């Protein structure tokens, strides 16, 4: 901002009448003129960095945001892994999500969810949620996923809807899978057990280590929420010189792929 001050003088003539006297007084008036020259930049909102388009961004719990293009987003922002349309208005990322609504002509209504863009770089995005929580995301590639000194992994999988599993695989190639199931013709709803023991070869162990890296197993959160009648998956992993334990039901998109891989381990490697 530049401010320039100028002073100007004007003269005003006044005539005063008094007995026997005519006085003419010239009065000088000073006028201060302020000339303000303002230079400013008006900001109408942020422009989403093009470098973020196509990147898979995650937070510390591996909740994710992926901007597929300049109008389509894939995320877990609203508790559901789904795609939705979005737009940038001012400093806000507006997600337009279809919600079931039986009393409308189309059977759904469009809900607009507003997330304020607090900060962004080429590989990070910070949002403020509608409930005023700060959500910090960064490019998945910035997380180190290397696996070394692997010793073993255990998975306890419990569900009311299908077979329960207890899987253990160690670095010597010992594969153990205890399957607890309910026979189809059981009248007393008494579960039975089946145990599978196998010896894995070097190639299978190498693939397992690679999958543990691909699915960022070392970032499994210690506790995960569980809905009513949820499927519980409890992990114990001894690797990278640490013991990783994770208990609960809800899994991020990436960690759910690890669960699927372990439950279908023999099928995946046959």
Other Cβ atoms within 10 Å of 246 Cβ, number:
19
Same fold, 50-142 and 152-269: no
Q: Which pLDDT score, from 0 to 100, does residue 109 have? A: 64
* Block mean pLDDT (10 aa), the chain, length 270: 44 47 46 39 58 91 88 79 81 76 63 86 91 91 91 93 91 94 64 88 94 94 88 96 94 93 78
Say how many CA atoms lie within 13 Å of 113 toward its Cβ.
21
Q: Which pLDDT score, from 0 to 100, does residue 107 have? A: 60
Q: How far is CA 29 from the centre of its chain?
A: 67
Q: Which pLDDT score, from 0 to 100, does residue 32 have? A: 43
Asked if residue 211 lies in contact with residue 261, where contact means CB atoms within 8 angstroms, the answer is: yes
Q: Which pLDDT score, from 0 to 100, does residue 267 have? A: 65
Q: Which pLDDT score, from 0 to 100, does residue 40 have? A: 35
Q: Which pLDDT score, from 0 to 100, does residue 102 have? A: 66
Token pair 């006297």 in the structure block, residue: 21
CATH class of 152-269: alpha beta
Q: Which pLDDT score, from 0 to 100, does residue 44 have? A: 44
The ranges assigned to domains in the chain are 2-37, 50-142, 152-269
Distances (CA, A) of 59 to 126, 141, 217, 219: 10, 12, 15, 11
The tokens for 79 are: 């508790």
Asked if residue 65 lies in contact with residue 252, where contact means CB atoms within 8 angstroms, the answer is: no
Asked if residue 145 lies in contact with residue 213, where contact means CB atoms within 8 angstroms, the answer is: yes
- Beta-carbon contacts of residue 154 (< 8 Å; ≥ 6 apart): 166, 167, 168, 235, 236, 237
Q: Which pLDDT score, from 0 to 100, does residue 5 have? A: 43
Other Cβ atoms within 10 Å of 202 Cβ, number:
8
Q: Which pLDDT score, from 0 to 100, does residue 246 have? A: 95
DSSP string, the chain: -EEEEEEEEEEEEEEEEETTEEEEEEEEEEEEEEEEE--------PPPPGGGTT-EEE-TT--EEEE-SSSEEEE-TTSS-EEEEEEEETTEEEEEEEEE-TTSTTSEEEEEEEEEEEEE-SSEEEEE-TTS-EEEEEEGGGS-----S--EEEEEEE-SSS-EEEEEEETT-EEEEEEEE--TT-SS---EEEEEEEE--HHHHHHHHHHHHHTTGGG--SB----TTPPEEEEEEEETTEEEEEBSS---HHHHHHHHHHHTHHHHH-
What is 50-142's CATH topology? Lipocalin (2.40.128)
CA 98/CA 107 separation, integer angstroms? 10
């Amino acid at each position: 901002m530049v401010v320039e001050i100028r002073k100007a003088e004007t003269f005003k003539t006044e005539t005063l009448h008094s007995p026997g006297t005519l006085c003419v007084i010239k009065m000088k008036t000073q006028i201060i003129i302020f000339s303000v020259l303002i230079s400013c930049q008006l900001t109408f909102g942020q422009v989403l960095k093009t470098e973020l388009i196509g990147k898979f961004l995650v937070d510390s719990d591996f909740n994710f945001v992926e901007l597929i293009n300049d109008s389509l987003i894939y995320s877990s922002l609203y508790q559901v892994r789904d795609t939705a349309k979005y737009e940038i208005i001012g400093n806000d990322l507006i997600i337009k999500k279809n919600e079931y609504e039986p009393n409308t002509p189309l059977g759904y209504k469009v809900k607009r969810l507003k997330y304020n863009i607090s900060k962004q770089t080429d590989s990070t995005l910070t949002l403020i949620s509608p409930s005023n929580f700060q959500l910090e995301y960064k490019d998945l590639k910035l997380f180190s996923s290397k696996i070394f000194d692997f010793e073993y992994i255990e998975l306890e999988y419990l569900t009311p809807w299908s077979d329960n599993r207890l899987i253990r695989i160690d670095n010597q190639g010992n594969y153990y899978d205890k399957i607890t199931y309910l026979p189809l013709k059981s009248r007393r709803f008494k579960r039975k057990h089946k145990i599978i023991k196998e010896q894995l070869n070097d190639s299978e162990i190498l693939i397992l280590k690679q999958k543990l890296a691909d699915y960022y197993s070392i970032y499994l959160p210690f506790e995960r929420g569980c809905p009513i009648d949820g499927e519980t998956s409890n992990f114990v992993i001894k690797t990278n010189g640490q013991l990783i334990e994770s208990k609960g039901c809800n899994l991020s998109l990436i960690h759910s792929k690890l669960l699927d891989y372990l439950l279908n381990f023999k099928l995946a490697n046959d």
